[in-house]
Structure 1
């Protein structure tokens, strides 16, 4: 079983949905977790607009509770997938040498735009992009 950690800024929108979509698509092949760089929403449910966007695609994100990233979580993972380049840059700064090869962008060569502060359509577009991106991580 491959272990994947998805990471965004607050574990409030993008990385929780990416983890849910990957777990759904990967089935027993993947163990997926998510975390955020900051603890601002720690213990809180996902953003309501992302919950709604996920629901439109047939996913239930209501059980999610935000978690802050730990070094142990990065050590646990076989792959650590950042939702955008700024998150990836921080991950590169804080992780040890052993974790560096595990790091990458969720979409491979581009960012998943952060929908925070935008309208519902931005969250819907973000969720569609994330769900489509699961294909990059399933063998």
Structure 2
């Protein structure tokens, strides 16, 4: 039996300083305006519903609520369906977070534009829903329940976004 001849192609290592994406969970960043209502709820639901169990974070396009917990009404609404947002603290969207993420998801058109400005033209930004997710901030409990229903509908029962 003859051995193959010619050059072999060694595996290409990941760029220095970045882990090989195939050796870790997919990283998803969900973004909204304040990071106290929509994006933390969407991040929790996405992390639980995606079959590949991605690492999911959330962030805000504004610093209005930086470091604050999720809105108490969103914490209550999500707790009623089995999700704990009590440890959430609002974070600001940064270039470092954009670089961390394999996939960028925004909750509405305004947020999509803001993420695209920071991410640049080489990155794809997915909008969670064509019509946008309703912002319940400052509203009654029913508004928060509506927002969660919209996020659930946008994610669907077996949601797995296309790779960015």
For the criterion TM > 0.5, the same-fold answer is yes
Corresponding residue of 2:160: 138
Large movers: runs of 4+ above 3 Å: none
- Structure 1 counterpart of 2:56, from 32, 47, 52: 32
Q: CA deviation at 1:90?
A: 1.5
How big is the shift at 1:26?
A: 2.2
Calculate the aligned-residue CA RMSD, in Å: 1.7
Instruction: Pick from 45, 48, 59 the counterpart of residue 72 of structure 2.
Output: 48
More helix by share: 1
Q: Which of 89, 103, 107 lines up with 1:79 in the alignment?
A: 103
The answer to whether the Cα contact below 8 Å between 2:47 and 2:56 also exists between their aligned partners in 1 is yes
Confirm or deny: 8 A CA contact 2:60 2:91 kept in the other structure. Answer: yes
* Structure-1 residue corresponding to 2:22: none
In 1, the alpha carbon distance for the partners of 2:153 and 2:113 equals 24
Does the aligned pair in 1 maintain the 2:27–2:56 contact within 8 Å? yes
Contact 2:49-2:159 within 8 A present in 1 as well:
no
Once residues 128 and 137 of structure 1 are traced to their aligned partners in structure 2, the CA distance between those partners, rounded to angstroms, is: 14
Flag structure 2 segments of 5+ consecutive residues without an equivalent.
1-24
Q: What are the within-5 Å matches in structure 2 for residues 35-114 of structure 1?
A: 35-99=59-123, 101=124, 103-107=125-129, 109-114=130-135
Q: Deviation digits for residues 24-44 of structure 1, max 9, x if unmatched? A: 112653111100011221111
TM-score between both structures, scaled by the size of structure 1: 0.89
Distance 1:46 1:117 in 2: 12
Which has the bigger relative contact order, CA under 8 A and spacing at least 6?
1
For structure 1, the residue ranges without an aligned partner over 5 or more in a row are none
Whole-angstrom distance in 1 between the partners of 2:86 and 2:152 = 17
